[in-house]
Amino acid sequence: MNEHRRQILEMLAAGKITADEAERLLSALEPEAAPAADFNGRIAGNGSADTNVKTRAKYIRVLVEADEYMTGMKGQTTVNVRVPLQFLRAGVRLASLIPKQAHDQLDEALNRHGIPLTLSQIKPENLEELIDHLEDLTVDVDGKEGNNTKVRVFCE
C-alpha cells in the first residue's frame, strides 16, 4: 500500500474525513489511463456497456506455418498448440530440480550458444514473476529468402 493511500485511510479511521471524501480521494489517486477493473477484468464503465480489459492470461499459444521447403511434406503444414501457463509453471519448477552439478554445464552450454542465462539464479520465488511477465510476450518470426515459415508465440 502506498503512503498516500495509507494517509487517506488513517484520516478516515480518525474520523477527519467521511467515507465519500475518502472514496473521492482514493479514486483521484488512481492513474487516469488505468481505470479500476474487477477480478473478471471488466471496467465498471462510464454509463456505457462493460468493456473487456486485459484479463490474466491462462494459455500460451504457439502457431507454426511451415511450407514444403521446411517440412518436406506436400502443401503447407500448420501446427497450433495451446499449453496452459500452469503447465509452464510446473515445467519451470521441474527445471529447478536440476542438480547443482548440472547447472554449471547447462549455463556453459547456454552461454556458448549466445544465451547469457544463469539457471542457478532462477529461484522459486522468481518463478511467479517470470511467468507473469510471459503474459506480455509475443514472438513473431517470419522466414525469408524463399522460406515462408511463420512462427507466432503469444499468451491468451
Partner 1 sequence: MTPNIAIVHIETPHWRSIPLWIPLFLLWIPAILLSPFILIVIFGLSIAGKLNPWRTFRVLWDLICSLPGTQVRVTTDGTNVRVRIL
Interface residues with partner 1 (CB under 8 A)? 58-59, 71, 73-84, 86-87, 89-91, 93-94, 96-97, 99
Please name which of 106, 108, 80 lies closest in space to residue 95, comparing C-alpha atoms: 106
Q: How far is the CB of 103 from partner 1 (least distance, A)?
A: 13
Cα distance between residue 82 and residue 156, in whole Å: 9
> For residues 9 and 122, which CB has a smaller minimum distance to partner 1 in the complex?
122
> For residues 54 and 74, which CB has a smaller minimum distance to partner 1 in the complex?
74
Q: Which DSSP letter does residue 42 get?
A: B
Q: How far is the CB of 147 from partner 1 (least distance, A)?
A: 17
From the CB of residue 66, how many other CB atoms can be counted at a distance below 10 Å? 19
Q: How far is the CB of 111 from partner 1 (least distance, A)?
A: 24
> For residues 67 and 107, which CB has a smaller minimum distance to partner 1 in the complex?
67
Residues 63/152, Cβ–Cβ less than 8 Å: yes
